[in-house]
Chain A
């Protein structure tokens, strides 16, 4: 009797052990699925773009041709547009985010901080297609009617900036797209900034205040140096978003394949070209070139986001070690 009981107990233990092992393997499989997805995304686009890479080689990246009729494709114009719009977005988004984070951590009354941060985060939850529609129907006409004529009148003769702001006031173009991107990335950058600004040990700030530092001096000389890594990470995070954003810029960029020095001229970006032309691509080399563009975008955003995470993780580790 005791023997049979112990053998059934042993059986039970074995069954539960194998169930445990099975569950463990199941979770491991799902965990590694995350890695596989990233790898497969890159690999599938390299595979889909192989025809373009084989046909054009390195020329694909430096060529400005985009000729569907003669099957000549180059990525230079979309790459240029992606970089220019992302740069404009950072010029707008980074100072604005810093200002918000400063206001939220130092100067805003306490009762206002929570509602303010929620409002800024709302910007992140608005779907990008709504930014795009608003950009096309409201913001672009506003730019064309009010902002761009002013830029033409006042900045066109400036020494270096002049060429950037000379052009027809059509509203659709790289400046408009860059501004919209700038608004879109503000919540991503500012939320990281105010989180880390709030995490600065109060003793550090208080000792600076005790020495007679003003609030801006505390921010610039204590808080900012202390959180430097995370701030850089936040900016790269915003850059990653701006580079890959699709719908908001597709509406307002104008899908032009000519090189334009002026920011007021229509342009293109990698994501916008793919969104605009993929379902219309009528030859294998055309489709392949678009997927190759997607591969380039994937590689660039991967690098930018990896840099962002490395900077943010370094902060996490320091905090973890202190805790």
Chain B
């Protein structure tokens, strides 16, 4: 009897210790990756990164054109994905809640949510690069929109479903048409949740590399024309990190550092917005 208790207690202690070990193990990797990026990135950070173009090998330069390209394509992605995503979420949450078709669309959306981003890149290549014969910022922006769309749909649908039915009934009882109720009452009540989804989406697509490799490609020069290949931070990081040149490595680290800072800041912002949404 005593031996049994001892064995069970021992097993319990071992399992608790191993689990604690797993947690520490995971945090250790997080700290290591953050530490590397911060130290390498901070030491490579210079003012010229924000004022000069991506350099040819061996010379000094910056990432200005890549920042601009990334900004344009992320903006394009947001502009495309937001209306489609919110309207699709309204269809799921307002018109078809609990039906089979909403179940199927939600299911497919959840699959798209974790679908490999390189596959999206290939899809957009077939759709927008091959027919036109050249890589373009448009294709890059569309690819990012494809990545962002399921995030917007999911979080908007959840936010819309949380709006209390009384709100909807009260607005309808005033004689307002359904579309007006949906857009100016329900969507407004769900706004914090929808914005959270948008921020999450932006955070996700600003670091995405794989879907841009063969849609936007890259561009060594300043380019504001979305119809031409466009420089962007993730692909520049990829190419520079894979190169044998030290100054390119430094630029890649600086880019990685800024992207990570941006993504983590957005993450914190999301939490703040989300908390406010929960309180109101």
Which positions in A face B, CB cutoff 8 Å?
16-17, 19-20, 22-24, 26-35, 37-38, 40-41, 44-45, 47-48, 95-100, 102-104, 106-108, 116, 118-120, 122-123, 125-134, 136-138, 183, 186, 188, 190, 214-217, 219, 237, 240-241, 243-247, 250-251, 271, 274-275, 278-279, 291, 294, 297-298, 301-302, 305-306, 309, 313
Contact = CB atoms under 8 A, between A and B. Distances in A.
Contact of A297 (B27, B119, B249): B119
A275 B150 contact: no
A104 B16 CA distance: 11
A138 B40 CA distance: 11
A217 B119 contact: no
Nearest to A41: B123
Contacts of A103: 16, 19-20, 22-23
Interface centre among A24, A45, A133 (most CB of B within 10 A): A133
Contacts of B260: 126-127, 130
Interface in B55-87: 83-85, 87
A22 to B, nearest CB: 8
Residues of B contacting A: mostly: helix
Contact of B107 (A30, A95, A313): A313
19 contacts: A23-B182, A27-B87, A37-B146, A41-B115, A41-B119, A96-B26, A97-B22, A99-B22, A118-B271, A123-B30, A125-B263, A128-B210, A133-B253, A136-B242, A247-B210, A278-B122, A279-B217, A291-B126, A297-B118
Contacts of A271: 116, 118, 210
A26 B89 CA distance: 12
Contact of A33 (B16, B21, B88): B88
A294 B15 contact: no
Nearest to B249: A137
Nearest to B257: A130
A155 B208 CA distance: 38
Nearest to A102: B19
Contacts of B36: 134, 137-138
A217 B213 contact: no
A98 B22 contact: yes
Interface in B263-279: 263-264, 267, 271
Interface of B: 8-9, 11-12, 15-16, 18-23, 25-27, 29-30, 32-34, 36-37, 40, 83-85, 87-88, 90-92, 94-96, 101-102, 104-105, 107-112, 114-120, 122-123, 125-127, 130, 146, 149-150, 153, 177-179, 182, 203, 206-210, 213-214, 217, 234, 237-238, 241-242, 249, 252-253, 256, 259-260, 263-264, 267, 271
Given A20-B178, A95-B22, A278-B213, A131 B33 contact: yes
A48 B126 contact: yes
Given A24-B95, A24-B179, A127-B263, 13 more contacts: A27-B88, A31-B87, A34-B88, A41-B120, A99-B18, A102-B19, A126-B263, A127-B206, A130-B256, A130-B259, A246-B210, A279-B214, A298-B115
